[in-house]
Amino acid sequence: MRNTVNRSSNVAAPSTAPGIATVQRVADRLSTQQRLGNAWDQIKVNWQLYLLLLPTLIYFLVFRYWPMYGVQIAFKDFSGSLGIWDSPWVGFAHFERFFSSYQFWDLLKNTIGLSLFQLIVGFPLPILVALMLHQLTSVRYKRIIQTVIYAPHFISTVVLVGILYVFLSPNSGIINNLIKLVGGQPIAFLSQPDWFRPLYVFSGAWQETGFAAIVYLAALVGVSADLHEAAMIDGASKLQRILHIDIPSILPTVVVLLVLAVGNVMNVGFEKAFLMQNSLNLGVSEVIQTYVYKIGIQQADYSFAAAVGLFNSIINLILLVLVNRFARRVSGSGLW
């Protein structure tokens, strides 16, 4: 009797498993159809909002996604007469050429070093500025300060570098005149490699800190005033309220912007680096962006330049995904 039961159970088991799998697939399909139906219903109800979104979608499709068709020249020996599609395929030859070149490690070191320095200095400053501005009680004084610190953002990069050349000139610059006034020797700031990174980073912090603080100020405005009132009743100081109310409230915003900043760590501003670059500081100022410009535009080696640029973009994508995953695990906030 026991053997009969065992044989019947062994026979019934294989026929049950496919049935369960089939039911699960049908349930998943129905769930997907239901989600699509709900999404389509939302689009029909809010069609005006999606219509406003349409120009942005068209812009990204035309100017961001369609040009990706040309990325294939990184794997080809591009010839203008043959076109992108008919140019001969060379595979990873351009990538191997870049990785084996004597400039590879110098470019990587310069790009990462300058980006990390800029991230360490430039990322916390807008947070500190926003927290300090949020504590000001005088509206008029607050507006004056905001106007002063926002204004540099609207100065073009060319003008900013021109200001640096004028202020730091060894002969007529105001900084060197002050140095000579106290008995020192004039310094050729823009010609010395050791000064390139500090000048690049701190001039960028002066230009962008005020404008970048707007995001954090907007997040601080959303903090409930009841929390501060309750903290003041309990005897909390301003510093304690900043540490235990303001900072935790803007932490999701900080995490998202940090993920974006780290994901963009390989993209050093081309214009500023190129304009501040000269033959004397080339050892530290030559980054991947300026190298791609010189190889691709000045030397017309389009395939090799595309391969270098694609390598740079892939590194950024990998960093973005990894940092976002780490941020999600640590803080629960991220881009997705």
Categorize the per-residue pLDDT at 27 as very low, low, confident or very high, splitting at 50, 70 and 90. low
Q: How would residue 162 be classed by pLDDT, with cut points 50, 70 and 90?
A: very high
DSSP string, 156-217: -HHHHHHHHHHHT-TTT-HHHHHHHHTT-----GGG-HHHHHHHHHHHHHHHHHHHHHHHHH
Longest dimension (CA), the chain: 110
Q: State the Cα–Cα distance between residues 109 and 113, nearest whole angstrom.
A: 6
Spatial contact of 114 and 201, defined as CB atoms under 8 Å apart: yes
Stretch 26-47: mean pLDDT? 70
Query: Where do the domains of the chain lie?
Result: 2-75, 92-331
Say yes or no to pLDDT of 239 above 70: yes
Mean pLDDT value across residues 122-133: 92
Task: Pinpoint the alpha helices (H) of the chain.
Answer: 2-45, 47-60, 83-86, 93-100, 104-122, 124-135, 139-150, 157-167, 174-181, 193-221, 225-233, 238-241, 247-263, 270-276, 282-285, 288-293, 302-331
> What is the structure's pLDDT at 5?
42
pLDDT band for 124, please (50, 70, 90 cuts): very high
Please give the pLDDT value at position 104: 92
Q: How much is the pTM?
A: 0.78
Q: What is the mean pLDDT of residues 306-332?
A: 86
Residues of the chain with pLDDT > 70: what percent? 88
In CATH, what is the architecture of 92-331? Orthogonal Bundle (1.10)
Tell me if 191 sits within 8 A of 137, measured CB to CB: no
Residue 285's Cα: distance from chain center in Å?
20
Q: What is the rounded CA–CA span in Å between residue 80 and residue 68? A: 18
At 121, the pLDDT band (50, 70, 90 cuts) reads very high
**Distance in Å from the first CA to the final CA of the chain:** 58
Give the closest residue to 306 by CA, choosing from 87, 59, 81, 58. Answer: 87
Confidence at residue 83, expressed as pLDDT on a 0 to 100 scale: 84
How distant is the alpha carbon of residue 289 from its chain centre?
A: 15
Query: Cα(143)–Cα(128) distance, rounded to whole angstroms?
Result: 17
Question: In whole angstroms, what is the distance from residue 290 CA to residue 306 CA?
Answer: 13
What span, in angstroms and rounded, lies between the C-alpha atoms of 259 and 331?
Answer: 12
Say if residue 158's pLDDT is above 90.
Answer: yes
